[in-house]
Every structure is written in C-alpha cells, then in structure tokens.
Amino acid sequence: MTADDHPCVLRLHDVSVVRQGRALVAHVDLDIRAGEQWALLGPNGAGKSTLLALCGAQLHPTTGTVHVLGHRLGRVDMRELRTHIGHVDPRTRIDPYSTVREAVLTGLYAATALPRRAAPSTLEQQKAEDLITVLGLGAITDSPWSVLSQGERGRALIARALVTDPDLLLLDEPTTGLDLAAREILLSVLAELRQLRPELSSILVTHHLEELPTSTSHALVLAHGTVVGRGRVEDTLTSETITRAFGHPIVLERRAGRWTATGAVDAHSN
C-alpha cells in the first residue's frame, strides 16, 4: 500500500476564515492521510491557531469545505466528532488535586477534572495505566497534578489525549514552558508514537523548527493566512520557504532527523 492509498483523515478545500473583514486564513487546501505526522509552522499571526481549530472541528470555515474523519463540517454533530480527536494543549488547566491517573482518565469525558459519577470501564482503566507506563509516568501515577513538573504534565496530557484511541491527534505547541531536557524527552515520546500508533495522524503546531520530532513526515508553512509551502517535510522545509514565511533570511540544517534554524547573517559569521 502506497501513502496515497491510505484513507484521508482530513481534507480542507479552498478554505477561508474571515472575521471583521479580515482573512485569518485564505484559500487553504490540505489533505492529511492516516499515519502522516504533520508540522504546522509559521510566525505569530500566520493563522496556525485558526487552522488548527478547523482541523479540530471547533470552527466552521467562512468559505470552502472541511472534511474531518470523513464528515463535512456543517453536516455533522461537532461535539460527537470531537470525541474522535485527541488534543494536547499545555495551557489546559487540570484540577490541581487530580492524580496523574485521574488526569489521564479525564480525557474520556473531555473534562479537566474527573466527574463525580465517572465510572470508567475496566478496559478504559487498563488503557490509561498502559499509556501512563509507556509515557514513563508509572512511578508518579498517584501524584497530584500540582506537584508535577511541566515535562511530566506534558506527557500526561499526551496520555490524556490518547486514552480515547483518537484517529487524529492535535498538538498545540506542546513544548511550551519546557526546559531543554524536558523538551527532548517529550519530543522522543512523540517520535515513538509512530511505532505505538502507526495509523494515527497528527498535526503539531509550532514556530520553532527545533521542536519538531524526528517522526515528522509532512509540513504546512503559513504566512499571513496563506500557504507558503506544503508537502513532504524534506521538500517543504527549505531555507527559501522559511525565509519567505518569516520575512527574514534563515538558513535551515537537518541532522539526524532534527532541524535547526539560524539567521543567515549569523550563520556565516564567526
């Protein structure tokens, strides 16, 4: 089976979102297939958050069509559709008294605290325990959220997003607030997801290329709400594309699957 034979998980056709006469995104086309791991890149104000909201069935386009998991937005129950989408946002405010186990289980209820009458099944509880172990949190399963480091919280939020077995995973700047070691641990976890769930499609939003896991297969680069580059990561992430998107001379390098970006002037001075 070739990549093009994989089912289409997400399809945006000529999509624009206009607010108060201003286009937040304009004429965007995007196809994401099962198993592809996309990076969504661009400077602040490029339209990344708006596009992620469309992909997460949280926003309708002004014009164009959006199909998420085979369903066209505007013709489907958005709330039910969102139960099949995992969302990792480091700004999520989990109840500080919740344990790691409880925080992961909140993903079943799209809540920030475990509901009083929550009764997760034996299978769901086991799935949560398995994810906690796989993500290296087994030693702190019963620790309250308030004492966790940012890195531990980041991994717990990934487990929370995966506990529902989503078909699409959205990661909104997941390394925000992490120190270098915690960032590298989290990126290693994200890279390992490709082996854990090879059919899972994902979109990771960032404006730092150093924060892309080695498993990234495709990229979409935005600037001023329009597409600057789109496609396989090795073809899309070029110095020329990133320079155009950020409006500043940038030199990209890739080593061992990881990217670095340097100002062109700095790159040649020593």
In tens, the pLDDT along 239-255 reads 999 999 999 999 999 99
Distance of alpha carbon 155 from alpha carbon 58, whole angstroms = 24
**Is residue 268 very low, low, confident or very high in pLDDT (cuts 50, 70, 90)?**
very low
Measured in residues, the chain has a length of 270
What integer pLDDT is reported at residue 269 of this predicted model? 46
Q: Is the pLDDT of residue 270 over 60?
A: no
In the chain, domain spans: 1-84+168-173+205-270, 86-165
Looking at the chain, the number of H-run helices and the number of E-run strands are 9, 12
Q: Is the pLDDT of residue 152 over 60?
A: yes
Residue 9 sits at φ, ψ, to 5 deg, of -90, -35
Lowest pLDDT segment from 30-39, 45-54, 121-130, 261-270: 261-270
As a whole number, mean pLDDT of residues 157-182 equals 93
Which residue has better confidence, 206 or 268? 206
- Chain-wide mean pLDDT for the chain? 92
For position 267, what pLDDT does the model report? 45
pLDDT tens for 188-197 read 999 988 888 8
Q: How far apart are the first and last CA of the chain?
A: 49
Mean pLDDT of the region 41-68: 95
Looking at residue 246, what is its pLDDT? 93
Query: What is the average per-residue pLDDT within 8-34?
Result: 96
Over residues 26-48, mean pLDDT: 95
- pLDDT category at 30 given cuts 50, 70, 90 is very high
Whether 130 has a pLDDT exceeding 60, the answer reads yes
Whether the predicted pLDDT of 3 surpasses 70: no
Q: Residue range 258-269: average pLDDT? A: 72
Nearest to 222 by CA among 15, 25, 32, 68: 25
What pLDDT shows up at residue 5?
A: 66
Mean pLDDT for 60-88 is 93
* Residue 258 and residue 212 in contact, taking contact as beta carbons nearer than 8 Å: yes
pTM: 0.90
Taking 80 as the threshold, does the pLDDT of residue 161 lie above it? yes
DSSP letter (8 states) at residue 94: -
Q: Any idea which residue has 């004429």 for tokens?
A: 27
Query: How does strand 250-255 pair with strand 71-72?
Result: unpaired
**pLDDT, position 193:** 86
The strand ranges marked E within the chain are 8-19, 22-33, 37-41, 63-68, 71-72, 85-88, 168-172, 201-206, 218-223, 226-232, 250-255, 258-263
Least Cα distance to 28 among 57, 51, 59, 55 occurs for 51
How much of the chain is in helix, strand and coil states, percent to nearest 5? 35, 30, 35
- At the second CATH level, the architecture of 1-84+168-173+205-270 is 3-Layer(aba) Sandwich (3.40)
